[in-house]
Structure formats: C-alpha cells, structure tokens
Chain A
Amino acid sequence: MKILIIEDERDLVKDMISYLSGEQYRTETAFDFASAMEKISLYDYDCILLDLMLPGGDGFTILEALRSKNKQDGVIIISAKNSLEDKIKGLTIGADDYLSKPFHHAELLARIHSVIRRKQFDPSNQLIQKDLVIDLLSKSVKIRNESLSLTKKELDLLLFFIGNKGRVLSKSALAEHLSGDFADMFDSHDFVYAHVKNLKRKLNEHDYGQYLKTIYGTGYKWQL
C-alpha cells in the first residue's frame, strides 16, 4: 500500500509518517506543487493526503490533474481553511474525504483506512479481530457467530479503536470522532467514558478478550 503526503509543513509530515509507521503503508512525500505533480503523473497511490495551499500552486489543480488522467487514487484533502465551500469544491472535483487542520492523527488514520477499504472492492468487506467479525456493509457485529447489538456510537468507536490499533487514543480524539468539529466547543469530553464503558461491557458479556485497554489518565488503546 502506497500513500503520498502532499504537504509543505515538513514537521507535520514527519509526525504523520511517524504515526502511520505501524501500518502496512509505504509513505512518500511531496513538499511543493511541482514535485507533487511529478509524482502523481509517474506513480499510482492507494491514498493521497492533499494540502490545498502549497508553494507553487493550488491543491485543487493537483486533484483536477489527477482526475483528468482518470486515476482512481483515493484523495483526502487536509486543509487549514475550514471552509464549507472548499469542502464542497474538493468533494465535487473528486476528493474522497476532507479533514480540516488541526486534526488528530487517529482521525486521519481512520479516514485513510476507510478510503482504502472503499477502493479495494473487497466483496466480503469484513473486519476480523480474533473472534470478532464486523460486516462493514450491514454494520453487524458478531463474536463467535453471536450477534452483538451495538449503538451507532459504540460501533463508530469500535471501528475507530480497531483502525488505530496499538495506539493510545485520547478522550478528545474520541469525542472529535463522534461529534466532529463540535467537540472543539467543549473543554470536557467525559461523555466518551460512558460509551466506551458500555462497549466494553457488551464485549465482556460475550467473553471477548480484554483488547480494549484503559490507559490511566490518557485514554484507551486497542491491542490484540
């Protein structure tokens, strides 16, 4: 799996690569418009992270060039401009997702997973974690063939945990995943506890292993 990060802020690129390091992704980078154009014309990527404001040009131009060549690379726009117009424009031209800065790496990783998953056309579309099987199309969750009834939020959280397995997820990252930009408006995100607690309880009821761990003082971690 190949990911191209088009972003001029080198420090941020370094952090993204570092966060993605545990995954089976090979990352390449382009720090300006020209090198980005070169890379997309030479290679195919599974997912491209695209900043809109680049030295030497506009991210939209890159996206347009990509789609005019009929390339089906997944594209996630990461922009500092939190603007609805940009989002709509980006999605219309053919981006798969839009994430505004500043974002949690956990959120970015979850979005990358979901873009790549959509591009893979896996007919089964199942996510398997030991005894746990999640059917992504029907949104059903089973442990050893026993159905688990999860609320929408609990399922959301479960997918988020699995997508970020091995990483510590803070309360604010979880809250932002559930409430989007609204989470920015609050200092306390304690409601996340209740949802995670319920999720844990339901997993325990089916004798599922203790893979969802509480990291004291910081958050949670999914570890197989």
Chain B
Amino acid sequence: MKKLLDRPFKVFTIFSLVIFLMSIPVYFVVVDWIWRTELDDHNLTIRDRIANQLGQVEINQDDLESILQIWNSLQPTSFVIPLGDQKILRDSIYEITKFNEFEMESDRFRGLRSVIEINGEPFILHVETNLEEAYETLFAIGLVTFFLFLILVFGFIQLNKIISKKVWSPFYRTLDTLSAFDLSAGKEVSFEASDIEEFDRLQRTLSTLIASNVKTYSQQKTFIANASHELQTPIALLKSKLELLLQHQSLNEKESEMIQAIQIPLARLTRVNKNLLLLAKIENGKFEDLDQIDMGEMLDQSLELFEGYLEERELSFHKTYESTLKFEGSRFLVETLITNLFSNAIRHSPLGSEILVEGRQEMIVFKNSGKDPLDEAALFKRFAISTSETTSSGLGLAIVKEICKLSGWSIGYDFENNFHVFTLRF
C-alpha cells in the first residue's frame, strides 16, 4: 500500500525531472546566445580600438608591411591583411574552430571581419575571440542541473516527512484510536481536537457514528440480558410443574413419555438461556477477584463430574498435565472455560473414541477425535452452526472466546491427524 503523500511526491518528482531536463537545452541556448552577443560586442570594441589607433599613426608603406607581419604573427586572435581585389563593404561575423597546439584541443572562435583603412588603403581586419566549447557548456549546465535536481528530490522527501509528521499527525492519531476501538468494550472514543477543517469534520462524523453504534450495541446487550433474565422464571416454573406432573400416580405410559419428551427441549431452552445470561455477565463483568488456580486440580474436579458422560459415550480419557500447572485468574471464568471446552469435546466425539487433555506451562490443549475439520471462522461465533449435530447450544465456544478476550488469553483451533485440537494459551 502506498501512503497518500507518496502519490503527489512521485508526480512532483517526475514533473520536476521533466522540467529540469527541458531546462538543460534552454539554458544552453540562452547562455550560448549571451556568449555570442557579448563576444560580438567585444570584437567590435577591439575592432574600433585597432582601427582608431592604426588610423591615427603615420606609417610608410614599407614599415606598414613589416609591422603587419609582426602583428599578425604575435597577435593570432586578430590579424590584418590587405583587401586586394576583394570587394567587402559590410562587416561580417563568423565562427571558426582552430586547433590549439598548446592545449592539444580544438577551440571555438567567434570572429569579426571588418574593413578598416590604414594610410588610406583598405585592409581586412579579423578579430577572433575564444568561445567556450559547446559541449563543455552543456556538460556544466547538465551537471549543475543534476545536482539541483538531487537537492530538490532530497528536499521533497524531507518536506514530505515533515508534512506527514506534522500536518497528518491528527489523522494518524485518529486512525490509531479507531483501530484500538472495541465495540464490545462499550466505551466511546474521544479524538484529539484538530484545527484543520477536514480532520475536524472527519472526527466529528466518526464520533457521532461510533456513539450511535455503541448505544445500539449496549441496547442490544441490555435487551438480550433482560430477555433471558425474564425467561428464567417461566423456565423454572415449567421445570417445576413438569416434575410435579411426573409424580401423578394416574399417569399412563404415553403421558409419561410425553413428559419425558417435553423435558428434552426444555433442557435445551434452559441451557441456551443460561448461556445467554452467562455471556451477558461475562461481557459486563468485572472479574477482578483473582485467585491462584491449580489447573491440574481443576481439571481433575471437572473430570469427576463429567465421568458419567464419558462412560456413556464410551470415551477413553488421557491426561498429560503437570501437577504444577498453576496460574492466576478468576476462578469463575477459568471453571467456565474448562467445563465448556470439556463438554464440547465430550459432545462432539464419536462413540468410543478418545479425548486428550495436555497441560503445559502457560497452555492447555483439548483434543478429541473427529472426522472432518470444522469451519474455524464460524466456530467461535454465537449460534453459528459448524457441525450437523444439534445438541449444542451454539454458545459454548462463544463463551470460551469471550472469556479469553476478557482475560487476555487466546484460544485457537486446529485439525490434526483426525483430532480436533483446541489450544488455550494463558
């Protein structure tokens, strides 16, 4: 994933690269043009000076020839030659490349050819000035441009960092607050105030949204808790009436069977209701009374109570846990956790298979035989059906998950070698 600020950064960088690349020929043309005009001006000035000085002196014809000879050999950048038969009336400008013997390289010259008069005779005067090499100029400009570009990109990166740190910091804090938000915790979130309009709007919108969600969620929670609480008395009465009905001497076989048949769904109703109440209690509960819990002892105790059900399903039970498996926790929560996992294993094991409970430091593993892996995503959800069996309340593992969440433990599911494996980590 890209960061928001990296996107304009990339575009800016590409744009400035294009501009810089384009600037190189433009600079070159401009610099070269300045060079040429300056040198042309310079050449004209020299011409004027030479013409002026040579025009003022009186030299006889013979001397003039030898002077011009010496001049021409000493002053290679300007030389005077007789006009002869040529007819040149106007000044002209030219460029010429000459080989420099001292530096062993070719030099570019800007030249001015002009006709001057010496002793009344017309002569051609060449004034030439060394012009910087084109490729050298180009290279220098390119180099400077490249460094400037580097500085610019470096600046962009630094500015990007500073901007994202300063300007975007309220946004990132909002993000952090949001990711830490837990609806089931029932706490509303408070964002840091921001003086930037967009962020302020975002935070206000989020606050409103979250507040209404928290409210709806807690209403729902209260509703479930109240509903299951209200169901308790009718369920208790149903159970009580059925038990009294069972005592009637006049019951015939059919009626007895009917009562028996009513008791099964009633038991399930009791179980679901009890679990809903338990969930509500765990969600609302503060379980701060921590005890030193001997896990091995607790497992043995629940084993004793489950014994009958193990026998009934002909399950063999194997335990491998250390006797020193002790840790701190709420007794009520740990007990609920263990019994839910235990009864889950018993209910879902095929007849005559085996259940293993392994305890190691900081973790307990419940294993029970099974044919196919369960749908892990649905496993810990409320009333999610992960098996075709209908005996479960659909809440047992949701309760386990909730307890783990509350206590900062973790529960995981795996399917290994035809075993359902539930791993509880403290």
Q: Which of B233-257 contact A (CB under 8 A)?
A: 233, 235-237, 239-241, 243-244, 246-247, 251, 253, 256-257
Select which of A9, A170, A184, A190 is within 8 A of B263 by beta carbon: A170
Quick check: is A215 within 8 A (CB to CB) of the other chain? yes
- In the complex, the answer to whether B256 meets A105 with C-beta atoms within 8 Å is no
Given contacts A168-B246, A192-B308, A217-B256, contact A187 B232 (CB under 8 A): no
Quick check: is B267 within 8 A (CB to CB) of the other chain? yes
Given contacts A85-B332, A101-B232, A182-B302, contact A19 B247 (CB under 8 A): yes
Given contacts A179-B306, A191-B311, contact A82 B274 (CB under 8 A): yes
Given contacts A105-B244, A106-B243, A182-B339, contact A216 B263 (CB under 8 A): no
Residues of B within 8 A of A191 (CB): 308-309, 311-312
Mark B255-278 against chain A: 1 for CB-CB distance below 8 A, else 0: 011011001100110110010011
Across the two chains, which residue of chain A brings its CB closest to B335? A84
- In the complex, the answer to whether A194 meets B343 with C-beta atoms within 8 Å is no
Quick check: is B331 within 8 A (CB to CB) of the other chain? yes
Quick check: is A11 within 8 A (CB to CB) of the other chain? yes
Residues of A within 8 A of B391 (CB): 186-187
Which of A105, A218, A219 lies at the interface centre, i.e. has the most chain B CB atoms within 10 A of its CB? A218
- In the complex, the answer to whether B274 meets A187 with C-beta atoms within 8 Å is no
- In the complex, the answer to whether A104 meets B243 with C-beta atoms within 8 Å is yes
Select which of B244, B309, B335 is within 8 A of A18 by beta carbon: B244
Quick check: is A136 within 8 A (CB to CB) of the other chain? no
From residue B255, how far is it (CB to closest CB) to chain A in Å?
9
Quick check: is B377 within 8 A (CB to CB) of the other chain? no
Select which of A85, A101, A180 is within 8 A of B289 by beta carbon: A85
Residues of B within 8 A of A195 (CB): 308
Size class of the A contact interface (CB-based, 8 Å): 35 or more
Select which of B236, B251, B263 is within 8 A of A101 by beta carbon: B236
Given contacts A184-B267, A187-B267, A217-B256, contact A15 B246 (CB under 8 A): no
- In the complex, the answer to whether B260 meets A217 with C-beta atoms within 8 Å is yes
Quick check: is A172 within 8 A (CB to CB) of the other chain? yes
A179–B304 CA distance with the chains assembled, in angstroms: 8
- In the complex, the answer to whether A102 meets B270 with C-beta atoms within 8 Å is yes
Residues of A within 8 A of B240 (CB): 11-12, 15-16, 102, 105
- In the complex, the answer to whether B236 meets A12 with C-beta atoms within 8 Å is yes
A167–B245 CA distance with the chains assembled, in angstroms: 11
A157–B325 CA distance with the chains assembled, in angstroms: 33
Residues of A within 8 A of B396 (CB): 185
Residues of A within 8 A of B235 (CB): 102
Quick check: is A40 within 8 A (CB to CB) of the other chain? no
Size class of the B contact interface (CB-based, 8 Å): 35 or more
- In the complex, the answer to whether B331 meets A190 with C-beta atoms within 8 Å is no
From residue B263, how far is it (CB to closest CB) to chain A in Å?
6
Quick check: is B57 within 8 A (CB to CB) of the other chain? no
- In the complex, the answer to whether B268 meets A187 with C-beta atoms within 8 Å is yes
Residues of B within 8 A of A155 (CB): none
Quick check: is A140 within 8 A (CB to CB) of the other chain? no
Given contacts A18-B244, A179-B308, A180-B305, contact A185 B237 (CB under 8 A): no
A28–B282 CA distance with the chains assembled, in angstroms: 37
Given contacts A101-B232, A101-B236, contact A218 B243 (CB under 8 A): no
Quick check: is A173 within 8 A (CB to CB) of the other chain? yes
Given contacts A9-B233, A190-B312, A194-B311, contact A83 B246 (CB under 8 A): no
A189–B331 CA distance with the chains assembled, in angstroms: 27
- In the complex, the answer to whether A217 meets B253 with C-beta atoms within 8 Å is yes
Residues of A within 8 A of B312 (CB): 188-191, 194
Select which of B232, B246, B271, B335 is within 8 A of A218 by beta carbon: B246
Given contacts A184-B271, A191-B309, contact A172 B263 (CB under 8 A): yes
A189–B246 CA distance with the chains assembled, in angstroms: 17
Residues of B within 8 A of A105 (CB): 240, 243-244
A54–B396 CA distance with the chains assembled, in angstroms: 31
- In the complex, the answer to whether A182 meets B246 with C-beta atoms within 8 Å is no
Mark B309-329 against chain A: 1 for CB-CB distance below 8 A, else 0: 101100000000000000000
Quick check: is B281 within 8 A (CB to CB) of the other chain? yes
Q: Which of A154-193 contact B (CB under 8 A)?
A: 167-168, 170, 172-173, 175, 178-180, 182, 184-192
Residues of B whose CB lies within 8 Å of any CB of A are 229, 232-233, 235-237, 239-241, 243-244, 246-247, 251, 253, 256-257, 259-260, 263-264, 267-268, 270-271, 274, 277-278, 281, 289, 302, 305-306, 308-309, 311-312, 331-332, 335, 339, 343, 346-347, 391, 396
Listed by A's residue number, 23 A-B pairs whose Cβ atoms lie within 8 Å are A12-B236, A19-B244, A80-B229, A82-B274, A82-B277, A101-B236, A102-B239, A102-B240, A104-B239, A104-B243, A167-B247, A175-B308, A178-B308, A179-B306, A179-B309, A182-B305, A184-B274, A187-B268, A189-B308, A191-B309, A194-B312, A195-B308, A217-B260
- Please give 14 more A-B residue pairs, beta carbons under 8 A apart, in addition to A105-B240, A191-B309: A11-B240, A12-B240, A15-B237, A102-B270, A103-B236, A170-B243, A175-B308, A179-B305, A182-B305, A182-B306, A185-B347, A186-B391, A190-B312, A216-B253
